[in-house]
Amino acid sequence: MGTSESKQSVTYEYPLTDKPWREPSNWNSQVEQALIEDIKKIKPKSLVNILLSGPVGAGKSSFISAIFTICDGEKSTRAKTGGSGSSYTVKYSGYLPENLLENFVFRDTMGIEPSDGIGFHVDDFIYLVKGHIANNYTFNPASKITTDNKSFRKEPEPMDVISCVIFVISAKDIYYGIPYDFIRKIGQLQDNLRLEDIPRTLILTQADRLCDQVRENIKNMFRSKKIEKAVRTASEIFHIDQASIHPVVNYEVDYTLTPENNIPLLLALKQSLKYANDRLKQIESAKKIR
Ligand SMILES: Nc1nc2c(ncn2[C@@H]2O[C@H](COP(=O)(O)OP(=O)(O)OP(=O)(O)O)[C@@H](O)[C@H]2O)c(=O)[nH]1
Ligand SMILES: [Mg+2]
């Protein structure tokens, strides 16, 4: 009896689409290798900073660790992750992966909370982006950094500024309705970026928690209607083009390094690196134009 029951097929509320809604449609080691080769070709001449920002517990630190996992070829917990009520990350922390990547620094921040006075202080954002805040600064939810703070750089060097921001939000939160206060705060951060002309991408983490079919087989990612809807909704809420929104599963549950586990992470990484490098080139060429 047990055998026949366990063989019964499961009916899902949201069946997969017949055709994938995004390329690549084949997830294999050739596709993975092509992405790795593309990534290796993105070689900035000097250090480039990529900032991670987003709600508390979304998976910012986990995404950084996932990048190290891919670069090192084994599970990494480089950026410490957690699940407490308030932000696990309290310090501004830079991470420089090696092997696969060259010259890219990933900068982790405190999680945003819906209420004011707790979590990341949105007024710190512009100082981070412009390179005024030094590594290891302990965020203060009660007030923005003051210019007399020992971590405040009065005159940042070009190597201190941020060249791309990766917003990190849980796919489930987007799908089931992200609280308005998060939208308001993230909107405020985006206004700063627009003024500074800094590119951004959006990573929808924990896709495995939103879609059972993705949890069962990550290759279902681009055939999942729920994930597709989360991407569309995020695009509408945050005014980011869908092609810059990447659903991923961090190496937090399944620690097996496989091409299919890597592919969504690599797609997100490749675009963020490219945007960051393009920004650097844009600044260089602007210096030549009078
Ligand atoms: N299932 C699943 N869990 C994840 C994923 N990414 C992160 N997590 C878990 O979500 C929790 C929060 O992850 P963190 O990386 O600490 O999140 P964060 O955005 O850095 O959080 P704060 O530093 O607190 O703002 C941890 O328990 C992670 O293991 C994912 O893709 N899938
Ligand atoms: Mg964190």
pTM: 0.94
Domain presence at residue 40: no
Using CA atoms of 169, 170, 173, 179 in order, give the dihedral in degrees to the nearest 10: -30
Which tokens belong to 135?
């590594």
What is the spatial distance between Cα 174 and Cα 126, in angstroms, rounded to a whole number? 25
Classify residue 91: in a domain, yes or no. yes
* pLDDT (tens digit per residue) in 114-157: 999 999 999 999 999 999 999 999 999 999 999 999 999 999 99
- Which protein residues have a CB closer than 5 Å to ligand 2 (ion)? 60-61, 88-89
Of ligand 1's listed atoms, the one at least distance from the Cα of 54 is 19
* In a domain? residue 32: no
Determine the pLDDT at residue 4: 45
Does ligand 1 lie within 6 Å of residue 173's CB atom? no
Residue 205 Cα: closest atom of ligand 1? 31
Residues in CB range of 65: below 8 A, 6 or more apart:
76, 77, 78, 79, 81, 250, 251
CATH number of residue 184's parent domain:
3.40.50.300
145 token code pair: 């950094």
Q: Tell me if 22 is assigned to some domain.
A: no
Determine, yes or no, domain membership for 161: yes
CA distance 234 to 150: 37
- Number of structural domains (the chain) is 1
Distance 6 CA to ligand 2 centre (A): 39
Which listed ligand is nearest to 83 at the C-alpha?
1
Best of 216, 252, 261, 262 for a ligand 1 pocket test (most atoms within 8 Å of beta carbon): 252
Give the chain's mean pLDDT. Answer: 92
> Is there a domain that residue 16 lies in?
no
The answer, yes or no, to whether any atom of ligand 1 lies below 6 A from the CB of 252, is yes
Domain assignment present for residue 195? The answer is yes
Q: Per mean pLDDT, which of 198-202, 256-260, 282-286 is the most reliable?
A: 198-202
Cβ(126)–Cβ(192) under 8 Å? yes
SS3 131: coil
Residues spanned by the domain of 144: 48-283
209 lines ligand 1 (CB under 6 A): yes
Closest ligand to Cα 252: 1
Task: Express each pLDDT in 212-232 by its tens digit.
Answer: 999 999 999 999 999 999 999
Q: In whole angstroms, what is the distance from residue 283 CA to residue 97 CA?
A: 24
Residue 253 lies in a domain: yes
Q: What backbone torsions phi and psi does residue 144 show, to the nearest 5 degrees? A: -70, 165
